[in-house]
């Protein structure tokens, strides 16, 4: 299983949008690589409709989507056609899925990424999510059981939070959203710790030497990330 901070394992795969080489084809882009258990299943159908409906929101943050299941290409195509022609969810209908969906009958990619959990199912991928940065480095891992649909607001929040942390050299606290206070990196020396408590920088709020925050407006976050992308 890949770990945070490691290069995303490389693979070449057939998809509903043609062959891809991962992650090299996505150099300079953020990517959400995610697996689902099977085509023509209700939870997966709700997730694909949601991903497709939010694709432009992810794209605004220079983030592409790549799906995977252990089903074959023709099954993928038939399922995505059925979604567009027959299925509605959360007010979304006639939804066309245009991001690639990987055919992984051999489970080669699923195995390489640790998407198969034998205790859950030995022949289906769990709902795994890998957020990969523009340098091809794994930045976030999420795993959901077969029965639990993903939280898509959280996936978008993760993308925004990672990009904001990189750009502003800060960390983001619990439940952070653009516009909330961010965490200033912890003081690395006794002198800096003392200075923070006696001569706090303008705009910084230090409750103790290790817990300092500052404001970055939602507009600053959005403008900085969009400009960089």
Q: Which residues contact 45 (CB under 8 A, 6 or more apart)?
A: 79, 83, 87, 89
Instruction: Give yes or no: 44 in active site.
Output: yes
Residue showing tokens 């051999």: 106
Cβ count within 10 A of residue 48: 24
Catalytic pick among 44, 190, 206, 212 = 44
Cβ count within 10 A of residue 186: 13
Annotated binding residues, written as ranges, equal: 127
Is residue 29 within 8 A of residue 134, CB to CB? The reply is yes
Q: Which residues contact 168 (CB under 8 A, 6 or more apart)?
A: 182, 216, 221, 224
Annotated binding residues for substrate, written as ranges, equal: 127
**What would the DSSP string read from start to end of 113-149?**
TT-B-TTT-SSSB-EEEEEE-TTSBEEEEEEE-TT--
Distance CA 123, CA 105 (A): 10
Is residue 164 within 8 A of residue 155, CB to CB? The reply is no
Alpha carbon 212 to its chain centroid, in Å, reads: 27
Q: Which residues are catalytic?
A: 44
């Amino acid at each position: 299983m890949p770990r945070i901070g490691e290069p995303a394992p490389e693979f070449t795969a057939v998809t509903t949008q043609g062959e891809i080489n991962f992650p090299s084809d996505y150099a300079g882009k953020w990517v959400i690589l995610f697996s689902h258990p099977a085509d023509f299943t209700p939870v997966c159908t709700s997730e694909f409709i949601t991903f497709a409906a939010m694709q432009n929101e992810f794209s605004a943050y220079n983030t592409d989507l790549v799906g995977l299941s252990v089903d074959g290409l023709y099954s993928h195509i038939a399922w995505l056609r059925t979604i567009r022609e027959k299925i509605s969810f959360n007010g979304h209908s006639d939804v066309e899925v245009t991001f690639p969906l990987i055919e992984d009958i051999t489970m080669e990619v699923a195995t390489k990424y640790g998407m198969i959990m034998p205790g859950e199912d030995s022949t289906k991928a769990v709902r795994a999510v890998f957020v990969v940065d523009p340098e091809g480095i794994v930045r976030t891992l999420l795993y959901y059981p077969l029965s639990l649909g993903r939280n898509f607001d959280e996936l978008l929040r993760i993308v925004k939070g990672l990009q904001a942390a990189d750009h502003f050299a800060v960390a983001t606290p619990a439940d952070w959203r653009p516009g909330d206070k961010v965490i200033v990196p912890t003081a690395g020396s006794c002198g800096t710790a003392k200075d923070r408590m006696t001569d706090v920088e303008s705009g910084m709020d230090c409750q103790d030497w290790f817990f300092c925050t500052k404001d970055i407006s939602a507009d600053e976050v959005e403008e900085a990330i969009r400009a960089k992308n």
